[in-house]
Structures are given as C-alpha cells and as structure tokens.
Chains A and B, each alone.
Chain A
Amino acid sequence: MHRMTRRDLLQAMLAAPAGPLAASAPASPVVVARCLSYDEDQVALLDGMFDKLGGLAGIVRGKTVTVKINLTGSPARRFQGKPLGVTHYTHPAHIGALAHLLTRAGAKRVRFVESAAGTAGPLAEYMLDAGWNVRRLLSAGPNVSFENTNGLGNFRRYVKFPVPGGGWIFPSYHLNEAYAETDVFVSLAKLKNHATCGVTLAMKNIFGITPASIYGDDAPAHEPNENPAKGRVDICHFGKRNPAAIAAPEKDPASSREPGYRMPRITAELTAARPIHLAIIDGIETVAGGEGPWIRGLRPVTPGVMIAGTNPVSTDAVAAAVMGYPPRDPKGRGVFRDCDNTLLLAEELGCGSADLNRIEVRGVPIEKAMFRFAA
C-alpha cells in the first residue's frame, strides 16, 4: 500500500497533478487540532476550532442546522466491547458540545439526523441503545431534536434533491424532508477507513442520508416501506435493482456493478445534491482497517486529532493526509486501490478542492498531526 510519509506530503503538495476542474473547485481553510481524550473539554476544543474558521455565529445564527452524525451499523455490534463512540460511532460528547455551541451561536433549531441501521424508529431510542444519555443531550439546547431519516419519521414527505450536472449513478435522490428544511448542513463524521471506499470521512458520512424506506433491500418496487429493516446493499452497493419508484431510477443500468465504482460516485453525488456547509471529523479515538466491527482486521487506534472545515472536499483531503494517504491518489493506488477516489469525484462535481496546495491548514500542521492508518 502506498503510504504517505512527511516527504511524500511535501511532494504531494508540490507535484500533485491537479487538473483544470481541481483548479476551479472551491477550497477553504481546514483546522486541525490535537486532542488525546474525550475527557478533555470538547466544548472548548470545538469552540477554538470554529474560531479559527471565522466563528460559528456567522454560519448558523437564526438558521436551522441539521447535523448528520455517524451511527453506522447496529448499536448491538460493539468492537471488543468498547463504547461505540470510541470506535466507529460519532462520540456523544461531540453531539452535546456541538448542540451547546450551535445554540449559543444563535441557531434557531438544531436537528441531529441519521438513517439508523435497520429501523425507522425514533433516533432517540437508537441512541439509547448505543448507551447514550439522550436526556442530557437534549438538555444541551432548547431547540435540539433527533430525527431518524431512514423513513418519513416526523415529516410528511420525501424531497427530491437533483444532482448538479446529472450525476453518474442516480440523477437525483429522494430524502427525508429534514434535509430540505435545512439552512446549514453539518457532517459530524469519524476518521476511519472504509472497506469499499478506502476512507470514510465527512462526505462518506452522508451516504447514510439515503432512506432505507426507498433505497433499502426491503423497499418495495413502488411505494416506500416505512418499516425498513435492512440495509442498502442491493440498490446502492451492487445495483441489483432500482429504488422504490418514488425516486429516480439508475441512469445507466449497463454501468459497472462494482461497489468500488458505485459507492464513491453515490457519495460524491449526494455531496453535490445536499451540500455540506461544515465538516467535522473526529479522530480522537477511532478504528483503522474498516468502518465497523463487521470488517475483519479492524483495530482500535488513537490518532488524537480533530479536523474541521467549511468545505467537505478540502476537509476530507486534509483528513486523508492526516491518515497518511495522499488525497489525490487515483483509483488503483494506495488506499484507493480497489475503488475510485471519492474526493476526486466530488472535486469533479465542483464540490471543493482536494488539492493540498490550495488548502490552508490552520492549527496543527498535517505532518505533526499525521497518524498512519495503514497496518
């Protein structure tokens, strides 16, 4: 596997082949901070990081903020018996801290969302199953709520989100209305490898906004299934069939059925269709080798790092570099050896730049924060 050394990093910044699209894609500063434990003051940590990005108030005051958290896989599946937040889930300390900071910055409403694995039940109950103190999280702000977007949940309809430029796999996505009733969209992700996509960061996190009611293995051909109990493997990963008819069918049924082709494209399409305004990636404690305990060879790691930025592609590029992976590696190289590079695809859609030369890193330099994920 191609690992990134500090020398590689320098070379990547000096010589990475960025095409014309990369040159025109927006780039924004990314903040990197050190944090070795969730016992440290996460409010102060995030507050300091947001200050380095120009402050939270300017982004969220008077706005409805939707925060996509990462609760991948059933909460019943623990890795080595550890709490989910220190392995493959968003850590509850960050949810509480973010709810507090967003409220303090004047957000009108703060809604934490996830399409919870195998259920359309209340997200709060799913969080209880994860061992979180939901009452405490709700008390972080007066207008804090949780929404499971795997079905309609508390909303009445699905909303169509067209992919700018038409997309590769789907021309549009039908999502829970919560994603439309959003002024500011935040991806609160985990710094992890992904068995199919190489890395799962702020962008891959929002793959989970697709409702299983429409894109799930047990979604009927026509109407959505409001009691989904399965994942999205057949439709999204392998393209064995089309989603429920409420949503647009695939553009090209003759295209590759390889998950390494489809998943990065779907992720990039979703990033373009439902833009992320703030990307936060938790690498304090996490896992390497995959996205969850169902992946063989998974191991716990403590990179001791937090990363945030207002552009998801730039933030993911810095995060990939912190993991020791050149963010512009093409398919077939390094961590992208079996898949397309989601970052480059999102760049192609104009979502942002993955070119480290164009991204200002504030706080801890990449070379000092680097924690190699490759075994």
Chain B
Amino acid sequence: MLSLPVLAFAAALPAAGDWVPMRWPSSDPRSLDLLSGTPVNCLLLEPRSWSAEFSAAAASQGIVTLGVIRPDQAELAARAGPAGLNGVVLEGVFDKPVAAGGLTVIEMPPRARLRFDPPPVVLATSQGVWPGIDAAEEESKAAPSGAPWIHTNSGFLRFVRAMTTAPVWMGCQPPPGVVFPAARYLQAVGDAAITGARWVISLDQDLNQRLLARDPPALRDWNRIASHVHFFEQHREWRRMELTGGLALVQDTGSGGLLSGGILDMIAVKHTPVRAVPGRYLDDTRMRGARMAVNVDPAALDEARKETLRRFTRGGGTLLTAPPGWKFPPPRDDRITLDKEDIAILDSIWREISSMTGRHNLGVRLFNVASTLSTLSSPAAGRPLVLQLVNYSDYPVENITAHILGRFTRADLYEPGGAAPKKLAPYESEDGTGVDIDRVSTVAALVLE
C-alpha cells in the first residue's frame, strides 16, 4: 500500500500522454539527481530495481515509475503495487492477462501483436531496429552510386501514428555488447520523435555504469541526449500535428505497415513527403490533399474503400496499384525487416513508385540530405508547415536546400540548445519557396509560415 505522502505527490504526476520514458538502471534514489533538469519523467525499472523508497523519491520529483515484467515473470505483477510503482510494462508475448492490481498496464509486445483497438494508454513495442548508418556496411559498397542505407523505425512509426491516437513508444534497445557514441542516441531520439513518437531512452551498459559513477564524459553525453529529448518535448505541438505529404501509401498491418525497411522507409529515403493511410481507415478525409497514392494490397480493400480510391483518381489523383498476387510477408514475432527475396519482389513496385514520384514536389524537395531522414507535418489548418530532419551520419550536414511547395514568407530553424530559432531567408523557387539551411548537426526543425 502506498504511503499518504506518496499518494499526495502522485496526484501531481504527469498524464500518460506526457510521459517521457527511460529504462533506468538503478534503484538508488540518489541516481534521480541525474534526471534533474531533464524532461525524463517516466522510468522503466527492471524487477531488481523495484523499491518503495526509490518510487517515493521519484514521485516526489514528479517522476512516474513503471515496472518491467517479462512473460516468465508474470507473478511479479503483484509486487508492483507494494513497491510503489505507478504501473507495469509487459514486455514480450504474454499468453494470459496479467493482474496488476489496478495499476496502469502498458503492453510492449512484438510489433505483430500490437493491439490498436481500443486505443491503449500508450501504444508501445519493444521491437525496433537500432537507428543509424552501419559504417562497415557502407564501406563495403564498392560502387560509385547510392546513398547510405539508414536503419530506421520511422516508416513503421509513421504507420502506427496513422493507426492510433494513443501516445506511441518505441522501446528498442542498443544491441548488447557494443559501446555507442552519443550521436547514435541522439539519432534514436530523433528517429522516433520526427514521427511524433517517443523513444524509450535506453543506454548501453557501459554508458549506464559510467553515468551512475558520474564520469564526466558520460555526464556530458547524457546532457547532450537530454537536450535533444528536451528539444522535442519543448515542441509538443509538432507531435500533435498530422504527418502530411502529397503521396499517400495505403497499407495495413498485414501489408507491410508493421515492417521496417519497407516501402515507407524507401520513400522516406528519397525525402518524398508521404502519409501512411491504413487501409481500414481509408476515406476521403485521409486522402485530402494527396496527389498520388500507392495501394500495396488492393485485394484487402472492401468496396467502399475501393470507391474512395476511384473518387481519388476521378479527382485527378494518380494511383499506383501493386501487381496482382504481389504480397508483403505477414508480420511475425521474430521478424520486423524484409528478407532478401522480399526485397527483390519489392524492387519491382519500388521502381514504379520512384518513376511516378520522379521530380514531383509533393510538399517539399530536399537536396544534399543523403544521410538524413525527414518528416513534413502540419496542423489541420495547413500552416505552419514543420519540416523535421534527423542526420544519421557522424558528421554535420552542411548546405541543405529545401524547395517547399507554396509561398512562405517566414522560415525559422529550431535546433537543440538554441535559445531562439534562427531566422532564415526564404526565396522564390520553381516550386514556391526555397530555403537554404547552412548546417544540421543531428536534429533540426524548419517551421514555415
């Protein structure tokens, strides 16, 4: 049972939609000092770190504590309440419901088992690729062509955002046994945030240990990571905006929406502004503003939704339909990316998509952005337009050019750590408005009005 003081503080805890989660490696209340001044307000704790003392100390700082339970530990749920935890995170595949004594329960299953209806408190998965560019993979390429391949969860997260109104968490962790530079964590933060999701911050074991020991370089790295999280939390209005773009990709959970490295990611690498439209929700509203569409699984649509696409084409839209018999592999617990054979099949439709989108400006065209991914979002009213960028290379990207569809007279560049946005000078371009961005270190957002 919670003590009265804890209950009093618990009343002031943030709502689930505002939780900024992190896997926390300690049960020592003094470790909470490391979170002072950061936006992190929700800690995921392994059972060994559950303690009423720690939970109370966290609650006194307005921090939510959640106990992580794995499938073979279901009985631990009964201990969560006495340990002062605010809830539990069920990470993995649970065969039976877990009784958590009325505490908040967040499911964090493999992607294939995500439950969208009814909208959960938080929609979370533990399955993701570790975002970034694999340097060794790139070095082995012996051809003069081709941009670096970016490992990203952003395509999957775009789809999930289109499926739910719930807050979305990406719970992937750094691969074990590897020490990563801080930049990779900044990329992981941005990879989720530009789609409106949150990465459950998770540091490698080495960094965790050094951080708890207050090692100065580790503290510097942690400050950088926290400043990037803070950047996106400062601009929660971007998270609430709709991902927009003149290209609509109609797919669903059974046709690639839950995979990484699929069509959404391939389109994103080309920086074509794309919106995911789940087949089950396909209607005129979702298609509003789209000029091109790709329907990857025509057989899965019912007659009403097929009619929506017919109206789209009668209205002047261009529709590309996957060839008959073409099928994405079904989602599985043990797989979130495509096999080589699938990629070879995907290549045929990808060429068609690439040819269709060509040099068309479907919201924005970006240049000199080979190592970056971007999203374009806006509120229902259409303005402001927010272009968010994540750079996945080890080096800053310099001299980016954006050709934005439509006329804009104001362009503000926001970056982590910047006290005020940098005012850029928009100019007329072939497509409407041009903006030159001198440099992007890891993440940045261009807000256009």
**Which residues of A come within 8 Å of B, CB atoms?**
72-78, 80-83, 117-118, 121, 125, 128-135, 227, 230-231, 292, 294, 296
Contacts and interface: CB of A to CB of B under 8 A. Distances in A.
Query: Chain B interface: which size bin?
Result: 20 to 34
Contact of A231 (B145, B371, B400): B145
A76 B141 contact: no
Nearest to B370: A76
A78 B368 CA distance: 11
Contacts of A80: 395
Contacts of B142: 294, 296
A133 B399 contact: yes
A231 B359 contact: no
Given A121-B359, A132-B399, A133-B436, A75 B370 contact: yes
B180 interface: no
Nearest to B368: A131
A51 B143 CA distance: 40
Contacts of A121: 359
A207 to B, nearest CB: 13
Nearest to B394: A81
A78 B392 CA distance: 13
A232 to B, nearest CB: 11
A292 B144 contact: yes
Contacts of B401: 128, 134
9 contacts: A77-B146, A77-B370, A83-B398, A128-B368, A128-B401, A131-B368, A231-B145, A294-B143, A294-B144
A73 B144 contact: yes
B2 interface: no
Interface of B: 141-148, 355, 359, 367-368, 370-371, 393-395, 397-401, 427, 434, 436
A74 B401 CA distance: 17
A129 B367 contact: yes
B186 to A, nearest CB: 16
A73 B436 CA distance: 24
**8 closest pairs, A vs B, by CB?**
A81-B395, A73-B144, A76-B370, A128-B367, A76-B147, A131-B399, A131-B368, A128-B401
Contacts of B427: 135
Contacts of A75: 368, 370
B367 A77 contact: no
A93 B436 CA distance: 18
Given A75-B368, A76-B370, A133-B436, A81 B393 contact: yes
A76 B148 contact: yes
Nearest to B351: A229
A76 B269 CA distance: 12
Nearest to B140: A296
Given A81-B394, A131-B399, A133-B399, A125 B367 contact: yes
B272 to A, nearest CB: 14
Given A83-B398, A128-B401, A133-B436, A72 B144 contact: yes
A131 B147 contact: no
A33 B401 CA distance: 34
Contacts of B393: 78, 81
Contact of A74 (B147, B355, B394): B147
Contact of B398 (A125, A131, A135): A131
Contact of B144 (A82, A125, A130, A231): A231
Nearest to A126: B367
Given A76-B370, A78-B393, A81-B393, 4 more contacts: A74-B146, A80-B395, A121-B359, A294-B141
A162 B265 CA distance: 47
B426 to A, nearest CB: 13
A81 B399 CA distance: 13
Contacts of A128: 367-368, 401
Contacts of A132: 399
Contacts of A78: 370-371, 393, 395
Contacts of B370: 74-78, 129
A43 to B, nearest CB: 21
A357 B200 CA distance: 70
Nearest to A88: B144
A119 to B, nearest CB: 10
Contacts of B367: 125, 128-129
Contacts of A129: 367-368, 370
A266 to B, nearest CB: 17
A227 B427 CA distance: 30
